[in-house]
Copies of this chain bind each other. A is one copy, B any other.
Amino acid sequence: MSYQVRKALKKDMPALLHLVTELAIYEKEPTAVTATLKDYEQNFEDGIFDAIVAEQEGTVIGMALFFMTYSTWKGRMLYLEDFVVTQSHRRTGVGKLIFEAVLEEAKKLDAKRMKWQVLDWNEPAIKFYEKYEATMDGEWLNCDLYF
């Protein structure tokens, strides 16, 4: 299969939200997504996040959503918030294309570090990241407050 990998545009926001919802179901949190299409469109326009998408014949079938942050230890840090390929396109190599486009973006933006998270039971994802020799550390708890 051949894919086109490119930066996201505002018109891709419905596809992004759809893929995020698919991933939330996979992550056993089917009701977690409360952000709306309007949230996506507004925050994308405000430059709060950016994304890479992969298309096949005009349909977005995978994406990575990220933003620039700051590591107090290392300096400028690209944070990869979400990375998903739709079920029917997994194991085709498109994930590699997307992930490597994000790495390129991180380097282009002069990031010293790229950070993301993976669920400790998500073995296919962990195996994927091991190929890039990413460090993986389970010593931290995620803390959250909701407003």
Contact = CB atoms under 8 A, between A and B. Distances in A.
Interface of A: 16, 20, 24, 29, 32-36, 39, 43, 48-49, 65, 67-76, 79, 81-82, 103, 106-107, 111-121, 126, 129, 132-147
A65 B139 CA distance: 21
A129 B134 CA distance: 29
Nearest to A44: B70
Copies per assembly: 2
A144 B135 contact: yes
A116 to B, nearest CB: 5
Q: Which of A103, A106, A141 has the most CB of B within 10 A?
A: A141
Nearest to A79: B69
A47 to B, nearest CB: 10
A142 B113 CA distance: 12
